[in-house]
Structures are given as structure tokens and as C-alpha cells.
Structure 1
Amino acid sequence: MGQTPGAVILDVRTAAEVRSGAIKGAINIDLMSADFQQKINQLDKTKTYFVYCRSGHRSGQACRIMGNVGFEHIYNLTGGMMSWPY
């Protein structure tokens, strides 16, 4: 992440999960919210996104959804918050 200037860190957990701790500078768009698709469609598709959740499962789903709507530079932080220091 540090080697990708302008990259966006995207947290797809719930607001309650985010309150328990998050990666500094991450933006939160809850994968399970009814407007997830609408919100990601407002993001810049030319940027690089590092996507995470608690364990890596929801972030994997989010990456597939984002890829299906035209995002090309998306990376799932495998293992989620349970594996990454913040």
C-alpha cells in the first residue's frame, strides 16, 4: 500500500465494526448496506483500491462486485483486520 501513491483504503465492514478500530485513512462503505452498489459507483474507477473487512470474505465479495462494474486496480487484503496491523 505504501508503494502506491494515491491508493484508497476501503473498509467494507459495518459501522459498529469500524468503531472497534480501522486502518488509518480508510473510507467505510458497508458491503451489506442497501446502497453499497450506488456508493461504489461514485468512486473514481481509475484509482487503486485496497479493500478489507474483518476476515477477508466480505472484502473478496466487494472486489468481485467492483470488478464487475469496471474497477481494474482492486486488491483484497487477505485475512482482513485479523491479519493486518492498523
Structure 2
Amino acid sequence: MNLNQNDWWSQFLQDPNGVILDVRTEEENAALRIPESINIDFYKGQGFVYKVDELDKSKNYYVYCLAGGRSAQACNVMKQLGFENVYNLLGGISEWQGPVEE
């Protein structure tokens, strides 16, 4: 499900089962990230699938990338792997107005 940043962030803050997932590269993540996010690089292909498949499927995942494209694809992959609740951040971190770590 695609959410604008206000809905994405407010829903995450009220979600005790929420996990923020950054699907950008490690270099992108090291430069700027949303606090408390975990990083699994979507560009790792099958490696991404293996890592994501190890995550707890009972959690709710709030997924972001730079502009929203990779995270949308990652959400589709996660749905195929059996994740029920995945939320894509529209516009990605490039349009993000919330807290960040540099």
C-alpha cells in the first residue's frame, strides 16, 4: 500500500508492531537515514529476497528508498513472500520532512 509521508509516519508512530525498512544501498543509508530503520539493499537481487524472507512476517513494514520506486518493488516482493502489511513511502527519503540521521 502506498502512503504519503504524513500517513506513513503517523501510522508507524502508532504501530507497536512497526518496522522501518530502508531498501537503498549501504552507501545511501550511511549518508542519510530515517532513525531506527533497518537496511536491506534491494539491488542485491536474490540476496535481498533471502534477507527479507528471514524477517518476522507478523510485523508491519514501512518501506522506503530514495524516491519510492525501489520500495514499491520491494513491497511487491514482500507480498509475494507472504508479508501481509507493507507500506511504501511515496516520494521516498528525497521528499521526506521527518526526522533523519546523517
Q: TM-score range by the shorter chain?
A: over 0.9
Which residue is equivalent to 1:77? Answer: 89
- The superposition leaves residues 48-68 of structure 1 with CA deviations (integer Å, 9 ceiling, x where unpaired) of 000000000000000000001
SS of corresponding position for 1:23: coil
Q: Report the CA distance between 1:83 and its aligned residue.
A: 1.7
1:64 paired to 2:95: no
Shift >6 Å, 4+ stretches: none
Structure 1 position 45 matched with structure 2 position 47: no
Secondary structure of 2:63's match? strand
- Partner of residue 5, structure 1: 16
Q: TM-score if structure 1 supplies the norm length?
A: 0.96
Tell me, which stretches of 5 or more residues in structure 1 are unaligned?
Answer: none
Could you say which structure has the higher helix fraction?
Answer: 2
Residue type of the alignment partner of 1:82: S
Number of matched pairs: 86
Counterpart CA distance in 2 for 1:13 and 1:82 is 12
Give the TM-score taking structure 2 as reference length: 0.81
Say if 2:33 is the partner of 1:22.
yes
Query: What residue ranges of structure 2 are gaps of 5+ in the alignment?
Result: 1-11
